[in-house]
Every structure is written in structure tokens, then in C-alpha cells.
Amino acid sequence: MTPPMRSRAGKRLSVVIPMHNEAEVLDILFKRLDETVAPLGLDLEIVCVDDGSRDNTYALMVERAAGDRRIRLIGLSRNFGKEAALTAGLEAASGDLIVPLDADLQDPPELIGEFLSLWEQGYDVVYGVRADRSSDTAVKRWTANAFYRLFNVVSDQAIPASTGDFRLMDRAVVEAIRALPERNRFMKGLFAWVGFKQVGVPYTRPIRAAGSSSWPYGRLFRFAIDGMTSFSTAPLRVWTLVGIGAAFLAVLAALAIVVQVLVVGRQVPGYASLMVVILFAFAVQMVALGVLGEYIGRMYQEVKGRPIYLVRERVGFDG
Ligand code: UDP
Ligand code: MG
């Protein structure tokens, strides 16, 4: 092993935890953090973002923050989604090292020690790679795989497969991410886009410690479209190729008809083939319009320039 290039001595670690209806998991979460992160020899700060929970997550956290000086609590004004909640947490974090963590313990905090040693060896970002996804359903694994594959084909910046938001980042990396002005925050993409010296650590993703997931398939699909459109313009450009291809086929068809008329004479039948071509061309145009709509809608979002999240209340930030 190479000798460490950095030292953790005197450094502050911010663990950033977005929370949406996580009341059931809080006790185990803080117990595990105390067992695994507290002994690492860092000045610990726990930034919790309540993303408009409808259960009593926020009240429980206020209570907890009153008895624990390490806790900083941000209550958002409503549910803004995990990406926004994470953004709020990253903006509030004051640590030299920053780790986003899921509240449900699907990102095992035990790994942070290993992440830390790799950071000491000079890596700026150490991310967890879900080596074994057996805790996910077959459908989720398949759709996730298909997404990463497609994303990496079309996007300008590849994201490593099977990574989530769980990672340890140097302050410099977080500053870079905070400086990105876009409202549509596909975090995995932004994490990859900023670059820096990155390394992955494989781990087995456990199932949720308690409570239930806030990500139904509809939401995951929207998330996938958001990711794709913020990191690639290929879906826009592909229509140029489709158009050229269709024009080429049309020329071939025209030639075939001319030859046919010259050889066998004029032919009237052809209603079916005509209908097929018309319907197909119509469908292609509709898809192309839809893709334009996706991008224009997002440009509209960005142009409005609304804040990514709104804070209702902050607890534990003084002193
Ligand atoms: N989360 C959030 N806002 C949301 C949905 C989720 O802050 O609108 C948080 C949630 O509390 C958890 C993390 O994001 O800490 C991951 O969510 P979840 O476990 O529901 O997702 P899954 O693991 O099923 O992908
Ligand atoms: Mg989860």
C-alpha cells in the first residue's frame, strides 16, 4: 500500500441524509451511525434534510437535534424529491469530507471507514458500487441495467454502472457541484460530470432497514428521462438520422414504383401499403415532437429560475 497523502486528523465529516417519511428507521439509523462513524476520529456533523415528510420524521428529528449537537436539521417547505433534498443538504454541509447517505441504511455506514482510507490515499471521490443487487426485484435490476446501458451510450459523460449517491467526496468536489446552476438535478450525472480523481468500492446493498420506499415505478421512469435529457442531446439529434433514413427509403420506393410502371404498367391496388407508410410516418413525427417537448419543457423549467428547494425551518445551525 502506498503511504497516505492526506490525513484525517482534525477534519470534519458531514453525513448528509435526505429523509422522506423515515420515522420508523431513525432509531436504528442513529444507533448505526454512532457505532460506525463516530469512532472514525473525525469531527462529525449530521445534516438531516426533512423532505416534506407526512409522518412525524420532522418532530422526531427536532427532538433528537435538541439532545445531539452534531445534528443540523433542515425542514423543507414541502416534498421536493430526493435530488433537491440532497442539494439542500450539500449546500448546508460544512465538512471537509461529505457523505450523502440514505436514511434507510441501504447505504451501509460501515463502508465510510474504507472510503476514508482511500481518500487519504489521494482519491477525491470514493463511491459505492452495488456489486450484488439481489435485494432488488428482477424487474428493477433489469430496468436499472437497461437504463445505465442506454444512458452511457447516449450521454456525453458516462456514469459508472450500479452506483447511487452513496460516496465520500472531498470539499473541493462538493464546491464544484454546488456551483452547477441547473435546477434539474440528476445527482449521479452531476457527480460523474465534475470529474476529479474517482474510485469505486463494491458492496452488497442490503434491503431497507424499516419503512417503505418512496420510489414507485412511475417516479423512477420520470427520473430516468430527467437524467437522460440533462446529460445528452442525442435524443434530439437522432431525428436527423431518422429523417435521412426515411428520405432514402422514400427515394428507393419511388424508383421501385417507376420501374414497376415501366415493366408491368400502371397499378391501382396499394391501399394497405399506403396506409402503413402514412401511419408509420405519422408515428415517427409524433415521437420526434414529443422529444422536442421534453427538452423545451426542461428549458422552460430552467429559464423560470425558481429555487431548487425552499427551507421552512433550520435547527442546530447556530454555534
Ligand atoms: N427521499 C427523499 N425524498 C423523496 C424520496 C426519497 O428525501 O421524495 C429519501 C429517502 O428518505 C431515503 C432516500 O431518499 O433516505 C432513498 O429513498 P428510498 O429508500 O425511498 O429509495 P430506494 O432505496 O427505494 O431507491
Ligand atoms: Mg432505500
Q: Per residue, what are the HEC states of the chain?
A: CCCCCCCCCCCEEEEEEEECCCHHHHHHHHHHHHHHCHHHCCEEEEEEEECCCCCCHHHHHHHHHHCCCCEEEEEECCCCCHHHHHHHHHHHCCCCEEEECCCCCCCCHHHHHHHHHHHHCCCCEEEEEEEECCCCCHHHHHHHHHHHHHHHHHCCCCCCCCEEEEEEEEHHHHHHHHCCCCCCCCHHHHHHHCCCCEEEEEEECCCCCCCCCCCCHHHHHHHHHHHHHHHCCHHHHHHHHHHHHHHHHHHHHHHHHHHHHHHHCCCCCCHHHHHHHHHHHHHHHHHHHHHHHHHHHHHHHHHHCCCCCCEEEEECCCC
pLDDT value of position 276: 77
Q: Which comes out higher in pLDDT, residue 89 or 144? A: 89
Q: Is the CB of 76 under 6 A from ligand 1?
A: no
Position 118 scores a pLDDT of 93
**Calpha distance 49→311 (Å, rounded):** 10
CB of 81 within 6 A of ligand 1: the answer is yes
- Of the listed ranges 47-56, 87-96, 212-221, the least confidently predicted one is 212-221
Instruction: Please tell me the distance between residue 148's alpha carbon and the centre of ligand 1 in angstroms.
Output: 19
Is the model's pLDDT at 263 over the cut of 60?
A: yes
- Answer for the pair 107, 128: CB distance below 8 angstroms, yes or no: yes
At 76, the pLDDT band (50, 70, 90 cuts) reads very high
Cell numbers that stand for 244 in this block: 435521412
CA–centroid distance, residue 5 to ligand 2 (Å): 34
Measured between alpha carbons, how far is 63 from 177 in angstroms, rounded to an integer?
Answer: 31
Q: How far is the CA of 69 from the centre of ligand 2 (A)?
A: 26
- Ligand 1 atom 21: residue of nearest CA: 213
Residue to substitute in 76, 187, 214 for testing ligand 1 pocket (most ligand atoms within 8 angstroms of CB): 214
Backbone phi, then psi, for 212, in 5-degree steps? -135, 155
Over range 247-268, report the average pLDDT.
82
Instruction: Please work out whether the CB of residue 82 comes within 6 Å of at least one atom of ligand 1.
Output: yes
**CA distance linking residue 158 with residue 164, whole number of Å:** 14
Q: What is the mean pLDDT of the chain?
A: 86
Give the cell for residue 82.
Answer: 430526493
Residues whose beta carbons lie less than 5 angstroms from ion ligand 2: 104, 106
At residue 121, the pLDDT reads: 92
Q: What is the pLDDT of residue 278?
A: 84
Summarize the confidence of residues 290-317 as an average pLDDT.
86
Cβ(106) to ligand 1 under 6 A?
Answer: yes
- Check if the beta carbon of residue 115 is closer than 8 Å to that of residue 167: yes
Domain 12-214+307-315: state its class.
alpha beta
Atom number, ligand 1, closest to the C-alpha of residue 17: 15
**Residues 251-257, mean pLDDT to the nearest whole number:** 84
Judge if the beta carbon of residue 89 lies within 6 A of ligand 1.
Answer: no
Task: Please tell me the distance from the alpha carbon of residue 66 to that of residue 316, in angstroms, as a whole number.
Answer: 8
Any ligand 1 atom below 6 A from CB of 128: no
Q: How far is the CA of 202 from the centre of ligand 2 (A)?
A: 17
Contact 19, 53 (CB under 8 A): yes
Rounded to an integer, the average pLDDT of 17-44 is 91
For atom 14 of ligand 1, the residue with the nearest CA is 82
As a whole number, mean pLDDT of residues 95-121 equals: 92
Q: How far apart are CA 259 and CA 277, in angstroms?
A: 20
Residue nearest atom 16 in ligand 1 by C-alpha distance: 102
* ipTM score above 0.90: yes
